[in-house]
Amino acid sequence: MPAKKKTKAYAQAGVNIDLGDRMKGDLKESLKAASRPEVLGAVGGFGGLFDLSKSKYKAPVLVSSIDGVGTKLKLAFDSGQHRSVGMDIVNHCIDDISVIGAEPLFFLDYLGLGKLEPKVFKQLIAGMKEACSSANCALIGGETAQMPGFYHPGEYDIAGVVIGIVEKNKMLSGQTIKAGDVVIGLPSNGLHTNGYSLARKVVFDTAKMKGTDKVPGSRQSVFKALQAPHTNYAALIQGLLQKFNTGRSSKVRKGNGIFGIAHITGGGFTGNIPRILPNKVNVEIDTNAWTPLPIFDLIQQKGKIDFDEMYEVFNMGIGMALIASQAEADSILKFCRKNGTKAVAIGRAVKGEGKVELRR
């Protein structure tokens, strides 16, 4: 009778190195779809390698962003669905650098957990791989830290870093925006990754709803509506800039149709659009120009949240705001719709002092 294999002391303490190695070993093959020709070596080394000498850029500027998913993670813990978390962490970071005009190059993640659960790990990686692949971004590496006793059972935290690149004279700053320009909204999938502390309190504590309940006015369950992944706008924005921004420099308006882009994240319209506005320009948003998704109506009604706060906390169905020339606005809208995005004109730039005014 063969001797019983002794459990390793570190595994007894809660850290299964062998399992971690097996899970990481499987990544080398599965992540080929989320790669680029510039990537050197394979996932699993001490550092990710990316060959910038193959870059097409003449005066390249590297652009970086780091973020987490926030309390949206609680929904994944409750529902058992984690794929969207992997998409969220990638897409939020990529969208943050897209507003500058940057092309995403590579992404790295950090995953901290008490116990490595293969099913959860595979879902997270699948989501990250899908998001990176759709944005032509390489998932170049990461870190998985097993820390037993540090997290509640079944919980984890995740963070991500993206590195992108943009031509120095093509970087968008918003400083050429002027009165008369048109604000174009790109639709969101839902809350994306912001406002979940308030949303969860309203939906689950105040309204006493369950994750499997249907959202009024929708066929979606509460879980599905709240866990809708953050939209990835990278490919669309790169296409728009290639077509409509052919001027020699983003510092002048000549030859360019898009002058600034704002990612509508935490802070909503009033907190994010001013970040790209010149001091003497305001933006007026016509909130009747689109219909917010039913999940926002549910939160507002059950939480008895006033109009202004809703637009300060949530994206209300608009994930990106592009500020473009009036002459090119219709063509930009048509381009977006042709590429599967139902963009809509939602406002206008006017003389002011760098603020956003909500019209209803």
CATH code of 57's domain: 3.30.1330.10
* pLDDT by 10s per residue, the chain, length 360: 555 566 676 666 566 766 656 555 566 666 777 889 889 877 667 788 899 998 899 999 999 999 999 999 999 999 999 999 999 999 999 999 999 999 999 999 999 999 999 999 999 999 999 999 999 999 998 999 999 999 999 999 999 999 999 999 999 999 999 999 999 999 999 999 999 999 999 999 999 999 999 999 999 999 999 999 999 999 999 999 999 999 999 999 999 999 999 999 999 999 999 999 999 999 999 999 999 999 999 999 999 999 999 999 999 999 999 999 999 999 999 999 999 999 999 999 999 999 999 999
Domain identity same for 206 and 340:
yes
Per-residue tokens: 85: 């978390």
- Give the burial string for 270-301 (b: 16+ CB within 10 Å, else e): bbbbbebbbeebbbbbbbeebebbbbbbbbbe
Q: How many domains does the chain have?
A: 2
Is residue 8 helix, strand or coil?
Answer: coil
- Give the burial string for 118-155 (b: 16+ CB within 10 Å, else e): eebbbbbbebbbbbbbbbebbbbbbebebeeeeeeeee
In a domain, 1, yes or no: no
Domain identity same for 136 and 245:
no
Contact residues for 232 (Cβ-Cβ < 8 A; gap 6+):
87, 90, 91, 94, 95, 131, 134, 135
CA dist 348 and 184 (Å) reads 9
CA dist 208 and 33 (Å) reads 42
In a domain, 7, yes or no: no
Beta bridge partners of 167: 60
pTM value? 0.91
Domain identity same for 159 and 259:
no
**DSSP code of 32?**
G
Q: Whole domain around residue 159: which residue ranges?
A: 12-168
Domain identity same for 159 and 195:
no
Cα separations in angstroms, 275 against 270, 278, 355: 9, 9, 9
Contact criterion met (CB below 8 Å) for 262 and 185: no
CA dist 142 and 121 (Å) reads 12
CATH number, residue 195: 3.90.650.10
Beta bridge partners of 109: 142, 160
Domain identity same for 232 and 288:
yes
